[in-house]
A and B are shown apart, each in its own frame.
Chain A
């Protein structure tokens, strides 16, 4: 596809994220994006701009009766629901992502996504070292792999196959302990996708190591889905 063709799609993507397309145009964009990695990437990039717009509006306090009405309606619907009806179970995801008290938060929101975890524990070169192999989640590119070499409370994470996180991004290591996720080191990868991160502490109390992509400087709590997870056993 020529650069001019892509420029045309870029303009359509702007209309798409702004909701300015008619249904046929929207369908055409979705169909194109499904098969075009460059446009998918562009959509993620330009889509972030839209998040600014709601934040720009003059704040207005909703009337208290709105909350009362909503909660009454929700209670009534919940009571009326058949016991066998599927409840909106992923509310736990939503509430976990809403309740982000700084350095730690309920883990469910970021842990329900992704694929199976592979766990291979073995002895490496030193007697007190254990190597844990993590498998990539469904959010990671194919071929992404990582190991954590533990030595007591500290360790080293080595990754292969991760794409470079972009000009304003880094990868960040997290240590999960039950419902709590603590931030650890940030790292970048080289052109070949290889990265190394020293984990200074936390492995003895944690039950899993995770990696997410975050803004430069890292985050207090994960802002994206995990790409890698390694259970600490």
Chain B
């Protein structure tokens, strides 16, 4: 049993080393605060450790499983009020400014940064009203009705924009695979 536990710990370590940086970045994006992001990432990975048996390969990649858990923890933290819950949209401008690479930036981080830039470029091609509702939901943890109230528009409009935006993102992915 000791051997099994050793192997499971090593497996967890590998999963953290592969996905911890991206997971922390996602939490940071949602919470906008490094300490809150650290706490949410820690909670998420401990939850992942404790529930590793529930990972189902049929439901997608490990990376997306980790992202799902981290997002849920970060949104929970937002709703608990451990970070200020204000809409923080890419269209605000600040998020789009690329940081200058520091001298000690690792190659892996440089690749992640480049990938993020490319993906953001694709998202920027969406009409603003569609990316707005998608970001409010995914990164802000707001529901349909909360977004409708915030933007003062019918809930049906919010739903329609979400769907259209996701369809465009998905269609773009399909084109890349051709």
A residues whose Cβ falls under 8 Å from a Cβ of B:
10-15, 17-22, 25, 45-46, 48-63, 66-67, 69-71, 73-75, 77-78, 81, 83, 86-95, 97-99, 109-110, 112-113, 139, 167-168, 215-217, 223, 225
Q: Which of B97-122 contact A (CB under 8 A)?
A: 99, 106, 109, 112-113, 115-116, 119-120, 122
A49 CB contact (under 8 Å) in B75, B106, B166: B166
B143 within 8 A of A: yes
The 7 residue pairs across chains A and B that have the minimum distance between CB atoms: A88-B52, A62-B24, A95-B11, A20-B137, A57-B29, A18-B137, A14-B163
- Please state if A225 and B58 are interface contacts (CB–CB under 8 Å): yes
> Would you call B22 an interface residue if the criterion is a C-beta within 8 Å of the partner chain's C-beta atoms?
yes
A50-B64, A59-B22 known; 12 other A-B pairs, CB under 8 Å? A13-B163, A19-B72, A57-B29, A62-B20, A66-B42, A67-B20, A71-B16, A74-B9, A87-B8, A90-B53, A168-B178, A225-B58
Beta-carbon contact of A69 and B166 below 8 Å? no
Q: How far is the CB of B146 from chain A (nearest CB, A)?
A: 8
Q: Check if A57 sits within 8 Å of B26, measured CB to CB.
A: yes
B147 within 8 Å of A (CB atoms): yes
Consensus secondary structure, chain B interface: helix
Expressed in whole angstroms, the Cα–Cα distance for A88 and B56 within the complex equals 12
Using known A-B contacts A46-B170, A60-B34, A95-B11, determine if residue A88 contacts B51 with beta carbons closer than 8 Å: yes
Q: Which residues of A contact B173 (CB under 8 A)?
A: 48-49, 52
A-B pairs under 8 A by CB, number: 219
Contacts of A92 in B (CB 8 A): 7, 11
Say if the beta carbon of B123 comes within 8 Å of chain A.
Answer: yes
Chain B residues with Cβ under 8 A from A55's Cβ?
A: 22, 115-116, 119
Pair B166/A93 contact, Cβ less than 8 Å: no
Q: Does A49 lie within 8 Å of B169, measured CB to CB?
A: yes
Q: Which of B138, B166, B178: most chain A Cβ within 10 A?
A: B166
Known: A19-B138, A89-B53. A81 touches B5 (CB 8 A): yes
Residue contact B159 to A70, C-beta cutoff 8 Å: no
CB interface residues, B 44-87, toward A, < 8 Å? 45-46, 49-55, 57-58, 61-65, 67, 71-72, 75
- Most chain A CB neighbours (cut-off 10 Å) among B95, B115, B173: B173
Please determine whether B177 and A11 come into contact, CB atoms closer than 8 angstroms. no
- Decide: B5 and A18 in contact? CB cutoff 8 A: no
Of all chain B residues, the one with the shortest Cβ separation from A224 is B58
* Interface residue? B149 (CB, 8 A): no
- Contacting residues, chain B, for A22 (C-beta < 8 A): 143, 145
Beta-carbon contact of A77 and B49 below 8 Å: yes
Sample (15) of A-B pairs whose CB atoms are under 8 Å apart: A11-B156, A25-B144, A46-B163, A52-B169, A56-B120, A71-B13, A86-B53, A89-B53, A91-B12, A94-B11, A94-B15, A97-B62, A98-B15, A98-B62, A112-B57
Say yes or no: A93 contacts B5, CB within 8 Å.
Answer: no
Closest to A137 in B: B58
Contacting residues, chain A, for B10 (C-beta < 8 A): 95
Interface contact A11-B21, CB-CB below 8 Å: no
The docked-state distance in angstroms from the alpha carbon of A19 to that of B68 is 10
Q: Are A90 and B52 in contact (CB under 8 A)?
A: yes
Query: Does B128 sit within 8 A of A, measured CB to CB?
Result: no
Within the complex, what minimum Cβ distance (angstroms) separates A138 from chain B?
9
| Contact between chains at B42 and A15 (CB < 8 Å) | no
* Cβ contact within 8 Å between A215 and B177: yes
Q: A14-B159, A62-B38 are in contact. Are A87 and B13 (CB under 8 A)?
A: no
Asked if A59 and B62 sit within 8 Å, CB to CB, the answer is no
Query: Which residues of chain A have C-beta atoms less than 8 A from B71's C-beta?
Result: 19, 54
Least Cβ–Cβ distance between A90 and chain B, in angstroms: 5
> Are A60 and B162 within 8 A (Cβ)?
no
A11 lies within 8 A of B160 (CB): yes
Residue in chain A with minimal CB distance to B17:
A67
